[in-house]
Amino acid sequence: MSDPALPIAEEDLHAWIDGQLEPGRQEAVLRYLQEQPDVARRVDAWRDQRDALRAALAAMATDPVPPRLKLDRLIQQRLEQRRLPWRAAASVLLAFGLGGVGGWFLRGGQVPPEATITLLAQQAVANHVVYTADRRRPTELGAQQRDDLARWVSNRLNHQVAPPDLSTDGYSYIGGRLAATPDGPAGLFMYDDPQGVRLTVFVLPLNAAASMPIQHVDFAHVDGCAWIDNGVGYTVVGKLPPPELRRIAELVRRQLG
């Protein structure tokens, strides 16, 4: 069909009307239409018909969408039908690849804040587990490049952030990295205590999320404290007793909030 020498077929004429003609055929079609005024009139009529149909039906697509066809409502209904508690619902969403915390699900404030915290903490824990297990290269930029990391992460998150200082609680900063989440990039800062126990601070911007106070979240092998301040989600994750974790979370919050 792309050979300009091929005779013009009816499908070329329709492709021309629909703007789907291969570029090489354009000239041949125009020449043909000049030579065949009868065909050209018919083609004009088809094109007018196409334009008129688009115009006549245009208004139907600007009609407001009725509530029962709203996507967030359909998703809510699905979750309710499954009668899952919110924590389980959150893992269903993640399994479905819908684990967006800040982008879509929070729009309109439809998702209970507890689910947001759970989804946020799940991402923080996933990154904690993967990167703290790496003995040789747990971070992208080490403690010496603290300023470089702060600049890099701040740029990617579009939010000014620097690794907090937890030395008063006995944790020294060992480095950080950019982490991946369904909601885009997050910052991950890593610390360890003199025994080598690692702790991470996770920072994820969540456009529209409502602020939430510090909450304890427990997972199978680690504990976390998560909160949301001014549209940014924070999580501290580590194998620490809950009161100690909470104290560190408050320290982080004072420095980053």
Partner 1 sequence: MTGSGVLTRIEACIPALRRYAAALLRNRDDADDLVHDCLVRALDKLHTRRDDADVRAWLFAIMHNLFISQLRRAKARPAGESLDETHEAALSMRPDQENALQWRDLIRGLNALPVEQRSVILLVSVEDLSYADAATVLGVPIGTVMSRLARGRERLRQLTDEEAVRPVLRRVK
State the residues that interact with partner 1 by CB under 8 A.
10-11, 14-15, 18, 20, 42, 45-46, 49-50, 52-57, 59-63, 65-66, 68-69, 71, 74-75, 78, 93, 95-100, 103-105, 182-184
Handedness of CA 161, 162, 163, 167 (dihedral sign): negative
Closer residue to partner 1, CB minimum distance, 48 or 218: 48
3-state secondary structure of 224: strand
Q: How far is the CB of 197 from partner 1 (least distance, A)?
A: 33
C-alpha separations of 36 from 15, 16, 41, 50, 251 in Å: 17, 15, 9, 21, 81
Residue 20 or 144: the one with the smaller Cβ distance to partner 1 is 20
Q: Which is nearer to partner 1, 183 or 223 (CB)?
A: 183
Specify whether the CB–CB gap between 232 and 159 falls below 8 A: yes
Q: How far is the CB of 226 from partner 1 (least distance, A)?
A: 19
Q: Write down the least CB distance from residue 78 to partner 1, Å.
A: 6
Of 122 and 139, the one with the shorter C-beta distance to partner 1 is 122
Q: What angle do CA 160, 163, 169 make, to 5 degrees?
A: 140
Tell the smallest beta-carbon distance from residue 24 to partner 1 (Å).
Answer: 17
The alpha carbons of the chain give a radius of gyration, in whole angstroms, of 28
